[in-house]
Amino acid sequence: MLARVFFRALGGAMVLLVSTAARAEEEAVPPPPPAAPYSVPWQLRPVVAPTVLRFDASTAFYEDVAGHGGTTVASVLTAAYRIPGTGPKTAGLSPLVRLAFVTDDPAPGNRARGGAVFVNPLVGAAYAVKLEHGFRLNVFFGATIPVGGGGGDSPDPGSQNTRIKGVNARAQLDNALFAVNDFTLVPGIGAAWVRGGFTVQVEATLLHLMRVRGDQAQPEASKTNFTTGMHVGYFVLPELSVGTELRYQRWINAPFAVERDASGASRDALTFAVGPRVHIKVGSVGWLRPGIAYQRALDKPLAAATPNYHVVQVDIPMFF
C-alpha cells in the first residue's frame, strides 16, 4: 500500500517537473520581432498587398489671369482585397478598384465652366513580395473603363473643364482616370526598403492611352505617359509618421496640344508633397491611418503665376 502511494507521488512529481521544464523552455524562446512599420505614400501605390478601403480628397486652389481664385476637389475611393494564401502577411495578390469624382468651383466670371463629374474607374491587381533585410517589391497592372463624364464628340463644357482640372488636382499622376475618351493600360513597378522606422520607396508607371470615343473632339488616337516618384517616411512615434514625396510625370507620346506648346512646359510636371499621418489600432479589425499633406508643383505649368496651384490632400485609409 505504501509502495503504491510512493510511486504515484513520484510519477506526479516527474510530470510536474517535465511540464515546468517545457514551459521554461517555451518562455526562453524570444518572441518574433514586430513587423517594421510602413509609411503609407500619399499618391504612390502602397508597396504592400493590402486589404484596404481608402478615401482621399485633393483640394486644389488656383488663380486665373485676373488673380481670382477657384477650387477643384478630386476625390478617389480605392478598395483592395488581399487574396489569402497568395503570400505571407502584407504580401501576395491584391485585386483593386478605384473610383474618382471631381467638382470644380471656378473663379468669378467662369461659373458656367464649373460642375461635378464622375471620371473613369480603374480595375487592376498588385502582387507584393517580401524580401530579406526589409526590402519589398510590388508589380501592378491595371486598366481604365472609359465611361467617365465630360467626354465624347460633344462634351458638356462644364463637365469637360471639371475633369481636366481634376488632373491637376491629382498632380497629373492619375491622368488615366480623367482621360475619359481613352482605354488605358497601366503597368507599374515599385520597390521599398522598410526598416528602423524608415520607409524609402520608389515607383515607375507607364500609361498607354488609346482613344475609343470622342474622335471629333480629341484628334490623337493614342498617347503614352510616364510617371515616377519617391516616398520617404519616418515614424517619429509608433502612432505618428511624417512622409514626403517627390513625383515626376512626362509625356512620351504627347497629345497634339502638348506638341504645339512651344515652351515645352506642359510636357512634364514635377511636384512634391509632405505631411503627417497618424496610426490608430482599431481593436482586432485593423489599422486606421489618416493623414494630411500639402502638395505643390516645382515647375510650370502648375506652379506658374496662373494657375499657381496649392493642393491639400486628406487621406483616410483603413487597412484590414
Rounded mean pLDDT of 165-182?
A: 95
Is 92 in the same domain as 142?
Answer: yes
pLDDT confidence of residue 114: 84
Is 118 in the same domain as 19?
Answer: no
Is 140 in the same domain as 199?
Answer: yes
Is 144 in the same domain as 183?
Answer: yes
Question: How would residue 30 be classed by pLDDT, with cut points 50, 70 and 90?
Answer: low
Is 9 in the same domain as 124?
Answer: no
pLDDT confidence of residue 64: 87
Domain hosting 129: range is 39-53+61-232+250-267
Q: Is 3 strand, coil or helix?
A: helix
Residue 40: closest CA among 280, 227, 320, 315: 315
Is 77 in the same domain as 142?
Answer: yes
Look up residue 66 and give its three cell numbers: 485676373
Grid cell 508589380 — which residue?
Answer: 139
Rounded mean pLDDT of 152-178?
A: 94
Residue 168: closest CA among 72, 66, 34: 72
CB 291 within 8 A of CB 278: yes
Question: How would residue 32 be classed by pLDDT, with cut points 50, 70 and 90?
Answer: low
CB 159 within 8 A of CB 68: no
**CA 153 from centroid of its chain's CA atoms:** 32
Span between the terminal Cα atoms of the chain, in Å? 63
Which sign does the torsion angle of CA 224, 265, 232, 277 carry? Answer: negative
Half-sphere exposure of 212 (CA within 13 A, CB side): 15
Is 85 in the same domain as 27?
Answer: no
Question: How would residue 102 be classed by pLDDT, with cut points 50, 70 and 90?
Answer: very high
Is 152 in the same domain as 199?
Answer: yes
**What is the count of structural domains for the chain?**
2
Q: What is the dihedral of CA 157, 105, 305, 315, to 10 degrees?
A: -110
Is 179 in the same domain as 201?
Answer: yes
Q: Which amino acid is at 278?
A: V
Whole-angstrom distance, CA of residue 224 vs CA of residue 222: 7
Is 255 in the same domain as 213?
Answer: yes
Is 73 in the same domain as 207?
Answer: yes
Q: Is 35 strand, coil or helix?
A: coil
Is 11 in the same domain as 118?
Answer: no
pLDDT confidence of residue 34: 60
CB 309 within 8 A of CB 168: yes
CB 267 within 8 A of CB 261: yes
98 located within any domain: yes
Tens digits of residue pLDDT in 246-297: 999 999 999 999 999 989 899 999 999 999 999 999 999 999 999 999 999 9
